Amino acid sequence: MSLYLIGDLQGCDAALQRLLEKISYTPSRDTLYFLGDLVNRGPASDAVLRRLMGYGSSARCLLGNHDLHLLATANGARKPGRKDTLQCILGAPDRHAMLEWLRHQNMALLEHWGGQPLLMVHAGVLPGWSAEKTVQLAREVEAALRSETFVEFFQTMYGNEPDAWDEALQGPGRLRVIVNALTRMRLCTPDGHMEFDFSGATEAAPEGYLPWFAVPGRLTADTTVAFGHWSTLGWLGRSDVLSLDTGCVWGGCLSALRITPRVAGWDSELIQVQCQQAQKPGE
């Protein structure tokens, strides 16, 4: 049995096929963990979703900002973007099945391998959240996504305020902060105020802001956090941080990290395939 963490697909099904061939993936034996942004900007988002749906429980998927954008667009809460490549899903005869499957995926996952915790999110974790708190808050968003009033959730999901967590938050504002942290954040202040426009290299961060994983004293410092979303950051493999968005849709690589649990901790191996797309970097 092998476990794999895989970065942002963004509709690049051909690259995923090459990656799965390279790792000799077998659904009955292996488990894939996808870190969000399954769709959009790439050429075959529909093929990606059909493939992952077919893998059943051997593919565990997180929702990223592009996945939520698809759901919001499909339900009339968001206008299609100029650079979207989602019509292959929106106009498909099995559209409903794909969207329903996507709506029931996770916002965060916490696993324990070799006695060590691994937290998986798409974008980031606020410094005042522990791993357990992050998953608890993710479940609140998942409940809204899976409820009968999910369309109302999408109608209030977008916005940059509030830009920081407060336990007293309720309703749409509370869910919006959780969504923004888990699917949009790259930078925040030491006291947890988020920034949403920056997507460049860490050394170019605006004054007063840090990469969320560089904030001193963050409560997930003792937990390995795996994430995607930040293609200009690229691969980063540390004991506390695993960054796996290596810019596949922008002509970079699609990356998988093979995790082999041991009695104490785990071993890991980075595996990559080139993904050639005619896109320019950006969101």
Cα–Cα dist 143/148, whole Å: 10
Instruction: Say whether domain 3-274 belongs to CATH 2.60.120.620.
Output: no
pLDDT in tens, 95-104: 999 999 999 9
Alpha helices in 39-94 (DSSP H): 45-54, 65-74, 87-90
Beta partners for residue 48, in sequence order? none
3-state secondary structure 23-45: CCCCCCCCEEEECCCCCCCCCCH
pLDDT in tens, 119-153: 999 999 999 999 999 999 999 999 999 999 999 99
pLDDT in tens, 44-88: 999 999 999 999 999 999 999 999 999 999 999 999 999 999 999
Average pLDDT over residues 216-236: 97
**Would you kindly state where each structural domain of the chain is located, as residue ranges?**
3-274
User: Which amino acid type is present at position 108?
Assistant: A
